[in-house]
Amino acid sequence: MNRNRSLQLYIKEHLSLYVFVGIIFIIGVVFGAVMVNALSLEQKQEMMRYLSNFFSSVEQGDFTDVRQSFEQSFALHIKWILIIWILGMSVIGLPLILILDFLKGVLVGFSVGYLVGQLSWKGLLFALVSVAPQNIVIIPALIVCSVTAMAFSIHMVKHRFMMRKGSFYEPFMRYSATILLSGALLAGVAMFEAYVSPVMMKWVTPMLMTMSP
C-alpha cells in the first residue's frame, strides 16, 4: 500500500518533467530525420560507401572481439549518464541535460531516417535489428536519469536559494541510486550490443547487399 502511494506521489510530482523531456526527445528525433534531407548528394554517397563497407565487415564476421565491443559500448553509455549525474548537481546544468536528450533524439532520428531513406524497407529492417532493440532500454533509462537529475537540481534550488529546510542526503542517495541502477541496465545493453546485435545484423546483411532498395 505504501509503495502504491509512493509511486502515485512520484508520478504526480514528476509527470510534467517526464512529458517535457519526452517532447524534447521527440523533437530531436524529428529534427534528426529531417536532417537526412538536408544532406548533399556527395555526403549521401560518402555515407553510403561507409555503410557498404560496414555491411561487408558484418557479413565477413569482422566483429569478433566481443570484449572490446562491450567495453566501448558500455563506456559510451556510462559516460552519457555520468554527465547527466554531474549536471544534475549543478544549477546551470539543467538546460544542458535537455540538450543531451535532444541530441540523443537527433542521433536516433538521423540513423533510422537515413537507413529508411536510402534503403527503403530493407533499411527499416536493418534499423529494427541494429538500432531499435538496445534503444528500447537506453532511451527510457536516459529519460529517467534526466528527470531525476532535473528534479534533484530543482530541489537544490528550492532549498539553497529559497532557504527551505531539509536534508540533501536522502534526495542525493535516491538520485545516485537511480544513476547506478541505470548503469547496471546499460551494462546489460552493452552485453546485448556485443554478443547479440552482431548476430542479428549478420542475418539481415546479405539481403541488403544482394537486393536493390
Alpha-carbon gap, residue 70 to 8, rounded angstroms: 37
Question: What are the phi and psi torsion angles at 173 (to 5°)?
Answer: -65, -40
- What lies within 8 Å, CB to CB, of 49 at 6+ separation is none
Count up the domains in the chain and report the number.
1
What is the tens place of the pLDDT at every residue in 174-211? 899 999 999 999 999 999 988 888 888 888 877 766 54
Range of the domain at 186: 2-210
212 — pLDDT class (breaks 50, 70, 90): very low
pTM attached to this predicted model: 0.87
